[in-house]
Amino acid sequence: MISEKMKELVKNSSTIRAMFEEGKRLSAIYGEENVFDYSLGNPNVEPPETIRKAISDILQEESPNYVHGYMNNSGYEDVREEIAKYINKKNGVNLNFGNIIMTCGAAGGLNIILKTILNPEDEVITFAPFFGEYANYVKNFDGKLVIVESEEKTFQPNIDALEKGITSKTKAIIINSPNNPTGVVYTEESIKRMAETLEKKQKEYGTRIFLISDEPYKEIAYDGVKVPFILNYYKNSFIGYSYSKSLSLPGERIGYIAVNPEVDDFKDVVSSLNVANRILGFVNAPSLFQRVIAKTLGAEVDVNIYKKNRDLLYNHLISLGFECVKPEGAFYLFPKALIENDKKFVEIGKKYNLLMVPGTSFGRPGYVRLSYCISYEKIVKSLDSFTKLAKECNEIINKNQ
Amino acid sequence: MISEKMKELVKNSSTIRAMFEEGKRLSAIYGEENVFDYSLGNPNVEPPETIRKAISDILQEESPNYVHGYMNNSGYEDVREEIAKYINKKNGVNLNFGNIIMTCGAAGGLNIILKTILNPEDEVITFAPFFGEYANYVKNFDGKLVIVESEEKTFQPNIDALEKGITSKTKAIIINSPNNPTGVVYTEESIKRMAETLEKKQKEYGTRIFLISDEPYKEIAYDGVKVPFILNYYKNSFIGYSYSKSLSLPGERIGYIAVNPEVDDFKDVVSSLNVANRILGFVNAPSLFQRVIAKTLGAEVDVNIYKKNRDLLYNHLISLGFECVKPEGAFYLFPKALIENDKKFVEIGKKYNLLMVPGTSFGRPGYVRLSYCISYEKIVKSLDSFTKLAKECNEIINKNQ
């Protein structure tokens, strides 16, 4: 009954559901407080208080037909202008409302970008490990996701691998920094080399290659690390931004696309994004939250809460002998599993009420992702489980030697 | 630079923008109060006051990470259960949360249904005149929209035409009642005959044909007319509902799909809708408004305001000699243009500051759509313009005789 394309996807989705059901099962037996769910990227830090106030003010001050009504498919012009100004101030650029399209989160943004640029069989490159949804988004428009590796020790993009991966059919590359699942922030050096490579390959093939920067974690960065502003480094670039994490509003589906003013065929590209937003069924980003964003620019969740979580969990894992790149952003750790088979490692974790996602789901077997966007107290309580997990793994390794 | 599929769409969209720009141009010259914009379906009746109160209560009572957080891609279970109960009470059926998927409006709902059921080249039937976006939604999944005519005098579905239009490749039929652009409500007799035809053809071809009922205007019905509840008439059916018009919240993108409990392969279909909601980039319907809906079930805008508008405009047009089916729902009139060429008729209207949409945009040339979701006062003020338009058209006709 269901379409051929969906059959495979429905089969895969049952794995996710199985994990979710496992969490419920364990909670029922041991109590929710004793189950350590590191599997979900659902922020636990509260949205800034300004959000509630902004909603209340808007409902008092503005006409409900305006606040909840239709607008241009790209969003309210005044909201887009405010966002452009904010970006300009932060990054020394010169955008205006015409560069901003309000979207249903970054997921909506990425889909309307891909709808705009992809013909069937076009190739889109991303670096493994990567957010698994990219494969689905590219398939939505009959493109092919081409996976190239990150640097082994740092999870920075491997530029040589990128260069080898580009063909005459390469239409775009998707990057994600701070990264899900590694938490790594791409350095300015990485971005510069990437841009040079793309420019070179564009010339070599006489094609256009778009750089799509998926930035839901842009604001979640620690230790004063700088996250490069992509539009400054490469002409044919888009930012797909989301307020899901910076304001802890993932359910509200609010974000934007920033289009580089120097993108080739700017006018057609922007018109197409506007139309794609409409015909894919988004129509427009949710209206009330567009207006909330304009009123709360600069507000951010307290990133130190995540940083404290990172330090606690990272230090404990290292003390147990885990290999792990110390992440500078997002709220994920991506350590090497203590045994080779990441799926088996995840299974063993469940014995100690630990829920983790195997690296295989991100195109990098042998690792696991831990989402530490849970309470500090829960992490403290979970440390003993990691110790036990490490002990069991060491016993397995010793037995096999 | 942009994809082949988008090129054509961007070209067409410039027509819509041209209309919008024309409105702005006329407003600048004559003042906004003297321009009669009957081109947009943006509700002017205020949302019920309960909406504002519900938002305020939710923000006071519930945790912000819950209200604005991720949930199952199909929506909050308690919200879906409340909606199911409300539907059950109104229609004497027996749905539960498992039959309801919360969506980004009906546009989002239709897209995830089509993603679920369509293979490339599959055919989807609709009745002309029809909401033009159906063509785009079907094309998103490489399906083919097959257009059959409505009954000439009533705009009820022409069941004989439907029967002839069905082939072995027909995967679905999309209906819309109360209808955009005609305002017509499909009678129970129409729905029964349609269901019989679909059942017969399913057997004849050994296929499954889904009935998709697009119902954003369900609650906007006048004179006590009954809008049949589709799930009661045909097994393989979906309702794509939206609160855009019943609550005047079109910008918030909130609606649901109701899946017939007797649909073939129910479990796979529902799983696929859930996955499609995620991978098309909707992820989930906006979270705060999901919770608002659960708190305001049964609330509706004051439909009498629209009815008063309809009566005023309809009676005036009839007095001028227009032919027009008297609509029983939605907020559109679809009269025959007074000259054969609907686009030329629309052009003449602009001389009198009237903005209308040519029937050609709805697959029915020779007609125009008038959206009367504007203020009563504005309609009163516009009547003279229609009189002048009719006069000019009569002169043209007389000259040509």
Please say whether the beta carbons of B18 and B363 come within 8 A. no
Helix ranges, B62-148 (H) = 64-67, 77-91, 105-117, 133-140
Q: What is the pLDDT of residue B243?
A: 98
Which residues partner with B213 through β-bridges?
A: B175, B239
Q: What is the pLDDT of residue B24?
A: 84
- Taking only the tens place, the pLDDT of each residue in A335-363 is 999 999 999 999 999 999 999 999 999 99
Closest CA to B73 of A281, A359, A13: A13
| Residue B263 and residue B141 share a domain | yes
- Cβ <8 Å between B253 and A59: no
Q: Which residues contact A212 (CB under 8 A, 6 or more apart)?
A: A110, A113, A172, A173, A174, A175, A237, A238, A240
Closest CA to B115 of B133, B88, B81, B142: B142
Please say whether the beta carbons of A198 and A173 come within 8 A. yes
Distances in Å between the Cα of B66 and the Cα atoms of A164, A251, B389 are: 45, 9, 55
The distance from CA A243 to its chain's CA centroid, rounded to whole angstroms, is 11
- Taking only the tens place, the pLDDT of each residue in B289-318 is 999 999 999 999 999 999 999 999 999 999
Residue A146 — very low, low, confident or very high, per pLDDT cuts 50/70/90? very high
- Provide the shortest C-alpha distance from residue A322 to chain B (in Å): 30
* 3 state DSSP class of B180: coil
Averaged pLDDT, A5-14: 87
Q: What is the pLDDT of residue A161?
A: 98
Averaged pLDDT, B270-280: 97
Residue A150 — very low, low, confident or very high, per pLDDT cuts 50/70/90? very high
Q: Which of B112, B281, B286 sits opposite A107 (nearest CB)?
A: B281
Whether the pLDDT of residue B258 is over 90: the answer is yes
Whether the pLDDT of residue B363 is over 80: the answer is yes
Pairing between strand A36-37 and A354-355? parallel
For residue A328, the enclosing domain spans 4-47+301-400
Whether the pLDDT of residue A265 is over 90: the answer is yes
Measured CA to CA, the distance from residue A354 to residue A368 in angstroms comes to 12
Q: What is the pLDDT of residue B20?
A: 76
The distance from CA A125 to its chain's CA centroid, rounded to whole angstroms, is 16
Mutate which: B59, B104, B284, vs A, most A CBs within 10 A: B104
| Residue B214 and residue B130 share a domain | yes
Q: Which of B248, B274, B295 is the last residue of a domain?
A: B295
Exposed / middle / buried, residue B189 (Cβ in 10 Å: 0-12, 13-18, 19+): exposed
| Residue B347 and residue B226 share a domain | no
What value does the CA radius of gyration of chain A take, rounded to a whole number of Å?
22
* 3 state DSSP class of A38: coil
Q: Which of B43, B68, B137 sits opposite A249 (nearest CB)?
A: B68
Which residues on chain B are in Cβ contact (under 8 Å) with A105?
Answer: 281, 283
Identify the closest residue of chain A to B17 by CA–CA distance: A72
Could you give the percent of chain B with pLDDT greater than 70? 100
Pairing between strand A36-37 and A123-128? unpaired
| Residue A269 and residue A169 share a domain | yes
Exposed / middle / buried, residue B204 (Cβ in 10 Å: 0-12, 13-18, 19+): exposed
Longest alpha-carbon distance in chain A: 72
Q: Which of A40, A43, A64 sits opposite B46 (nearest CB)?
A: A64
* CATH assignment at residue A24: 3.90.1150.10
Tell me which residue has tokens 């979640």.
A220
Averaged pLDDT, A36-64: 95
The pair of structure tokens assigned to B103 is 């969506």
Measured CA to CA, the distance from residue B360 to residue B216 in angstroms comes to 22
| Residue B53 and residue B39 share a domain | no
Q: Which of B43, B59, B249 sits opposite A52 (nearest CB)?
A: B59
Q: What is the pLDDT of residue A110?
A: 98
Q: Which amino acid is at B127?
A: F
**ipTM of the complex, rounded to two decimals:** 0.96
Q: What is the pLDDT of residue A22?
A: 85
Averaged pLDDT, B28-44: 92
- Taking only the tens place, the pLDDT of each residue in A170-207 is 999 999 999 999 999 999 999 999 999 999 999 999 99
Please say whether the beta carbons of B106 and B134 come within 8 A. no
Which residues on chain B are in Cβ contact (under 8 Å) with A280?
Answer: 111, 140, 280-281
Residue B123 — very low, low, confident or very high, per pLDDT cuts 50/70/90? very high
Q: Is B271 on the interface with A (CB under 8 A)?
A: yes
The pair of structure tokens assigned to B244 is 């855009």
Measured CA to CA, the distance from residue B269 to residue B261 in angstroms comes to 11
Measured CA to CA, the distance from residue B237 to residue B233 in angstroms comes to 9
| Residue A165 and residue A123 share a domain | yes
Closest CA to A182 of A204, A227, A152: A152
Q: What is the pLDDT of residue A20?
A: 76
Q: What is the pLDDT of residue B274?
A: 96
Closest CA to A390 of A339, A315, A328, A324: A339
- Cβ <8 Å between A2 and B70: no
Interface of A with B in 78-137 (CB under 8 A): 104-105, 107-112, 115-119, 133, 136-137
Which residues partner with A123 through β-bridges?
A: A144, A170
Which residues partner with B355 through β-bridges?
A: B37
Q: Which residues contact A281 (CB under 8 A, 6 or more apart)?
A: B104, B105, B107, B108, B109, B110, B111, B112, B137, B280, B282
| Residue B249 and residue B182 share a domain | yes
Measured CA to CA, the distance from residue B157 to residue B186 in angstroms comes to 7
Tell me which residue has tokens 């259960």.
B81
Please say whether the beta carbons of B227 and B218 come within 8 A. yes
Q: Please, what is the end-to-end C-alpha distance for chain B in angstroms?
A: 51
| Residue B340 and residue B388 share a domain | yes
Which residues partner with A213 through β-bridges?
A: A175, A239
The pair of structure tokens assigned to B11 is 């070209």
Q: Is B47 on the interface with A (CB under 8 A)?
A: yes
Quick one: which H or E segment has residue B373? none
Q: What is the pLDDT of residue A23?
A: 84
Whether the pLDDT of residue B46 is over 90: the answer is yes
Q: What is the pLDDT of residue A19?
A: 78
| Residue B290 and residue B171 share a domain | yes
| Residue A258 and residue A277 share a domain | yes
* pLDDT, mean over chain A: 96
What value does the CA radius of gyration of chain B take, rounded to a whole number of Å?
22
Please say whether the beta carbons of A352 and A391 come within 8 A. no
Buried b (16+ CB within 10 A) or exposed e, B59-87: beeeebbebbbbbbbbbbeebbbbbbeeb
Identify the closest residue of chain B to A210 by CA–CA distance: B1
Q: What is the pLDDT of residue B209?
A: 98
Helix ranges, A40-104 (H) = 49-61, 64-67, 77-91
Q: What is the pLDDT of residue B129?
A: 98
Averaged pLDDT, B228-236: 98
Beta-carbon count within 10 A of A142 CB: 15
Residue B19 — very low, low, confident or very high, per pLDDT cuts 50/70/90? confident
Whether the pLDDT of residue A14 is over 80: the answer is no
Closest CA to A100 of A244, A330, A254, A217: A254
Averaged pLDDT, B217-236: 97
The pair of structure tokens assigned to A239 is 């930012």
Q: Which of B4, B110, B269 sits opposite A119 (nearest CB)?
A: B4
Q: Which of B271, B295, B319 is the last residue of a domain?
A: B295
Averaged pLDDT, B25-38: 93
Closest CA to A219 of A190, A183, A257, A246: A246
* pLDDT, mean over chain B: 96
Mutate which: A280, A290, A374, vs B, most B CBs within 10 A: A280
Number of domains in chain A: 2
Whether the pLDDT of residue A222 is over 80: the answer is yes
| Residue B224 and residue B333 share a domain | no
Pairing between strand A123-128 and A100-103? unpaired
- Cβ <8 Å between A104 and B104: yes
Q: Which amino acid is at B333?
A: L
Identify the closest residue of chain A to B288 by CA–CA distance: A252
Measured CA to CA, the distance from residue B298 to residue A241 in angstroms comes to 36
* Better-predicted residue by pLDDT, A203 or A23: A203
Q: HSE (CB half, 13 Å, CA atoms) of A41?
A: 20
| Residue B314 and residue B247 share a domain | no
* CATH assignment at residue A87: 3.40.640.10
Averaged pLDDT, A19-35: 88
Residue B41 — very low, low, confident or very high, per pLDDT cuts 50/70/90? confident
Measured CA to CA, the distance from residue B265 to residue B21 in angstroms comes to 48
Alpha carbon dihedral B25, A82, A274, A68, in 10-degree steps, equals: -80
Please say whether the beta carbons of B190 and B157 come within 8 A. yes
Q: Which of A260, A295, A330 is the last residue of a domain?
A: A295
